[in-house]
Amino acid sequence: MRVLVIGSGAREHALLLALSKDPKVSKLLVAPGNAGTAKLAEQHPVDVASGAAVTELARKVEADLVVIGPEVPLVLGVADALREAGIATFGPSAAAARIEGSKAFAKDVMAVAGVRTAHSEIVDSPAKLDAALDRFGPNWVVKDDGLAAGKGVVVTTDRLVARDHAAELLETGHPVLLESFLDGPEVSLFCLVDGETVMPLLPAQDHKRVGDGDTGPNTGGMGAYTPLPWLPQAVVDQIVTEVVEPVAAEMVKRGCPFSGLLYAGLAIGVDGPAVVEFNCRFGDPETQAILELLDSPLGEALKATATGTLASLAPVQWKDGAAVTVVLAAENYPGRPRTGDAITGAGGLGVFHAGTASHEGKVVSAGGRVLSVVGSGADLAAARADAYSKIESIRLPGSHFRTDIGLAALEGRISL
């Protein structure tokens, strides 16, 4: 099986590594890739947002399966173009990708499906903003209604901060979603979904804030760990039966069945799981940790999902132990990152490239989240030690990373 992966981040690097271990995968290709993926796959330039360009490339390289990593091409309908050309594709249609591309759409699906989520209100005019803000608080959650790569969210107890963020979004033409605050620890649950068939992967926890102790602004994710020692299997089962399966069934009823990876981000409060958000693709940085523990052929699972045969696939198997992802970010991230600096020490196992490029024979920084470093071990403590040992050997001027990924769970400070 010849597999073409679309994207250029650490998520795609991790997908390629996992696919390379599948004996049925005979050839790996990536477009456009990065400085790290070149070691695993044949690289091709492509406009990932163009269905015509991706389809032309898939035909040229004779891909048997195309795996779309990022959300933007999915929301823009790249998967539709590939399917219309008869190419097996892992990733939802544009209509189904609205579960991430439009928070208003996701809220409506959840309401009809009877899925618990935060109370919300869409604000599309500055004139309506103050009155709407008065209906929320003392914790304000302000989101961009569209795609924002994880950075369009502000959670604050300061009404002025909430108002300023909302006003900025409205000024740029983006509708604002105000939500009630959901208390409790957060969980990311990835599920392979083929219509109404749902197969959960390991639960993980992301760390969104830029600084230790969950301080500073939101980012695309600064690290993650899996599995979650504080989360009973019964709660995972509850998320599948009360959240993911009803949403999948509702999307089938609406004529936009989901095919691909449905990512449920949830808060586990005193009343049980409640949805914070849905994503329509593998999340980053959780994917890097989850795939580290995968003990089943990834290509087989993705192909079954893409071809509508997931129901006949045996449940995926997992290695014992734990895995931790730590993100190395460029100076000034999540603001405008410093780029173009040489990176050294990033060639070892468990180092996944994201914002990197090759320049004059050197690997240089080319984005905000530059590398994901994955450690594994018999337990969370060992996995953390492995990850931080690896990241300490990497040099990038001005770079920064969180030192507390998974620490609260390790110290028993998270409980239900």
Q: What tokens does 233 get? A: 């299997």
Measured CA to CA in angstroms, residue 227 lies from 221, 233, 315 at distances of 17, 10, 17
Q: What distance in Å separates the CA atoms of residue 17 and residue 294, rounded to the nearest whole number?
A: 11
Asked if 406 contacts 204 with a C-beta cutoff of 8 angstroms, the reply is no
Q: How confident is the model over 204-217, as a mean pLDDT? A: 96
Q: What tokens does 251 get? A: 């999307």
Task: Give ranges for CATH 3.30.470.20 in the chain.
Answer: 186-312
What pLDDT does 49 receive?
97
Q: How confident is the model over 8-19, as a mean pLDDT? A: 98
Provide the pLDDT confidence category of residue 166 given band limits of 50, 70 and 90. Answer: very high
Q: What distance in Å separates the CA atoms of residue 147 and residue 290, rounded to the nearest whole number?
A: 24
**Does residue 146 have a pLDDT over 80?**
no
Q: Exposed, middle or buried: residue 237 (CB in 10 Å: 0-12, 13-18, 19+)?
A: exposed
One-character DSSP codes across 260-297: EEEEEEEEEETTEEEEEEEESS--TTHHHHHHHTB-S-
Q: What tokens does 231 get? A: 């989360």
Q: What distance in Å separates the CA atoms of residue 179 and residue 7, rounded to the nearest whole number?
A: 31
Asked if 225 contacts 324 with a C-beta cutoff of 8 angstroms, the reply is yes
**Does residue 151 have a pLDDT over 70?**
no
The domain 119-179 having CATH identifier 3.30.1490.20: the answer here is yes
Q: How confident is the model over 47-72, as a mean pLDDT? A: 98
The amino acid sitting at 406 is G
**Does residue 143 have a pLDDT over 90?**
no
Provide the pLDDT confidence category of residue 287 given band limits of 50, 70 and 90. Answer: very high
| Dihedral sign, Cα of residue 218, residue 337, residue 286, residue 42 | positive
How many residues does this entry show for the chain?
Answer: 416
Provide the pLDDT confidence category of residue 153 given band limits of 50, 70 and 90. Answer: confident
Pairing of strands 65-68, 89-90: parallel
**Does residue 148 have a pLDDT over 80?**
no
pTM: 0.92
CATH number of 186-312: 3.30.470.20
Q: How confident is the model over 117-135, as a mean pLDDT? A: 92
Q: How confident is the model over 70-83, as a mean pLDDT? A: 98
Q: What is the pLDDT of residues 78-97, one digit of tens each?
A: 999 999 999 999 999 999 99
Q: What tokens does 341 get? A: 């600096």
Provide the pLDDT confidence category of residue 137 given band limits of 50, 70 and 90. Answer: confident
Q: What distance in Å separates the CA atoms of residue 368 and residue 386, rounded to the nearest whole number?
A: 23
Q: How confident is the model over 196-216, as a mean pLDDT? A: 97
What pLDDT does 104 receive?
85
**Does residue 147 have a pLDDT over 80?**
no
What pLDDT does 145 receive?
76
Q: How confident is the model over 293-311, as a mean pLDDT? A: 98
Q: What tokens does 175 get? A: 């509708």
User: May I ask the CATH class of domain 2-93?
Assistant: alpha beta
Q: How many helices (H) and strands (E) does the chain have?
A: 14, 21
Q: What distance in Å separates the CA atoms of residue 362 and residue 70, rounded to the nearest whole number?
A: 26
Q: What distance in Å separates the CA atoms of residue 121 and residue 132, rounded to the nearest whole number?
A: 8
**Does residue 150 have a pLDDT over 80?**
no
Residue 184 sits at the vertex; the CA angle it makes with 258 and 215, to the nearest 5 degrees, is: 100
Q: What is the pLDDT of residues 355-414, one digit of tens each?
A: 999 999 899 999 999 999 999 999 999 999 999 999 999 999 999 999 999 999 999 999
- Which 3 state secondary structure label does DSSP give 323? strand
Q: What distance in Å separates the CA atoms of residue 58 and residue 408, rounded to the nearest whole number?
A: 44
Task: Give ranges for CATH 3.30.1490.20 in the chain.
Answer: 119-179
Task: Give ranges for CATH 3.90.600.10 in the chain.
Answer: 322-410
198-201 long-range CB contacts below 8 Å, 24 or more apart?
Answer: 198/240, 198/244, 198/245, 198/248, 198/262, 199/301, 199/310, 199/313, 199/315, 199/316, 200/236, 200/239, 200/240, 200/244, 201/290, 201/316
Q: What distance in Å separates the CA atoms of residue 306 and residue 291, rounded to the nearest whole number?
A: 19
Distance of CA 248 to the CA centre of its chain: 18
Asked if 375 contacts 384 with a C-beta cutoff of 8 angstroms, the reply is yes
Phi, psi (degrees; rounded to nearest 5) at 101: -70, -25
Residue 111: count other Cβ atoms within 10 Å of its Cβ: 12
- Supply the angle between the helices 245-253 and 103-113 in degrees, to the nearest 10: 100
Q: Which CATH superfamily is domain 322-410 in?
A: Phosphoribosylglycinamide synthetase, C-terminal domain (3.90.600.10)
**Does residue 149 have a pLDDT over 70?**
no
Mean pLDDT of the chain: 96
For tokens 């997992």, the residue is 318
Task: Give ranges for CATH 3.40.50.20 in the chain.
Answer: 2-93
- Supply the angle between the helices 103-113 and 94-101 in degrees, to the nearest 10: 100
**Does residue 133 have a pLDDT over 90?**
yes
What pLDDT does 29 receive?
98
